[in-house]
């Protein structure tokens, strides 16, 4: 560990970076229940969207519970003549998303090298996170539903780097959504779009972080 590595940070998204595909989990749930691919998100956004993210934005900021979200979505489905699947709708949609991939190893490697490592995640409820595993890999965890902010609001990035004790220019940020990476870059971070190819992501990170 060197003084230089202690002054560098790595922020990682959760869904789609440290897990199997979020979109794949949604598609599998829709297939099981007879919905067209992408239909659920289209319905939610068409009915509830606004400049603050609509119903999804309120859920991600923790302003509504997953139970309240389920109830709103059930009413929307019933109003459109769709059958409502049994059980928690949020849990069902995310059931296929599991911790996976080599980015866990990258987080551990960075932390072992003295780089400060943080999680920066938008949440649909906070019960899906493997807390012990996160504690083993991350110095800080900034989860939208716990802090009342969501990406791409610059304030949640600023909170994350503040908790790392670093300036944005000293941090790399990895996310699977381009709009989230763009905001990080606007704030001065080294942004990396993760497309499921860990070697490519690591190669990009090595342009900023000493990952060996």
Residue 8, CA distances (Å) to 110, 155, 188 in order: 10, 20, 13
Q: Is the pLDDT of residue 39 over 80?
A: yes
Q: Is the pLDDT of residue 4 over 70?
A: no
What does the pLDDT look like over 176-190, one tens digit per residue?
Answer: 999 999 999 999 999
What does the pLDDT look like over 89-126, one tens digit per residue?
Answer: 999 999 999 999 999 999 999 999 999 999 999 999 99
CA 177, 178, 183, 189 torsion: positive or negative?
Answer: positive
Q: What is the model's pTM?
A: 0.93
3-20+98-205 is classed CATH 3.30.465.10: no
pLDDT above 70 as % of the chain: 97
Domain boundaries, the chain: 3-20+98-205, 22-94
Sheet strands side by side (includes 116-121): 140-143, 116-121, 9-12, 171-175, 190-193
Q: In this structure, how many other beta carbons lie within 10 angstroms of the beta carbon of residue 23? A: 14
**Residue 2: band (very low, low, confident or very high) from pLDDT cuts 50, 70, 90:** very low
In this predicted structure, what is the pLDDT of residue 80? Answer: 87
For residue 19, give the DSSP letter. Answer: B
Query: Mean per-residue pLDDT for 32-47?
Result: 88
What does the pLDDT look like over 43-63, one tens digit per residue?
Answer: 888 877 777 888 899 999 999
In this predicted structure, what is the pLDDT of residue 6? Answer: 65
In this predicted structure, what is the pLDDT of residue 61? Answer: 97
| CB-based contact 23:184 (threshold 8 Å) | no
What does the pLDDT look like over 58-85, one tens digit per residue?
Answer: 999 999 999 999 999 999 999 989 999 9
Average pLDDT over the chain, rounded to an integer? 93
Q: Is the pLDDT of residue 3 over 50?
A: no
pLDDT above 90 as % of the chain: 84
Exposure of 152 in the CB half-sphere (CA atoms within 13 A): 14
Q: Is 16 left (phi over 0), alpha (psi -120 to 50) or beta?
A: left
């Amino acid at each position: 560990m060197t003084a230089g590595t202690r002054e560098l940070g790595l922020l990682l998204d959760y869904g789609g970076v440290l897990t199997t595909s979020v979109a794949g989990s949604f598609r599998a749930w829709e297939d099981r229940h007879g919905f067209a691919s992408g239909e659920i998100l289209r319905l939610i956004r068409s009915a509830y969207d606004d400049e603050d993210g609509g119903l999804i934005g309120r859920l991600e900021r923790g302003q509504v519970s997953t139970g309240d979200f389920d109830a709103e979505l059930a009413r929307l489905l019933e109003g459109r003549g769709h059958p409502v699947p049994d059980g928690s709708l949020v849990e069902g949609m995310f059931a296929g998303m599991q911790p996976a991939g080599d980015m866990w190893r990258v987080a551990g490697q960075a932390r072992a090298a003295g780089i400060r490592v943080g999680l920066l995640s938008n949440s649909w409820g906070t019960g899906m996170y493997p807390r012990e595993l996160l504690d083993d890999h991350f110095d800080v965890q900034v989860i939208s539903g716990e802090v009342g902010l969501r990406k791409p609001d610059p304030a949640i990035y600023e909170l994350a780097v503040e908790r790392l004790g670093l300036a944005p220019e000293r941090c790399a940020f990895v996310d699977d959504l381009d709009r989230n990476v763009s905001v990080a870059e606007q704030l001065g971070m080294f942004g990396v779009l993760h497309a499921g190819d860990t070697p490519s992501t690591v190669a990009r990170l090595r342009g900023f972080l000493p990952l060996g």
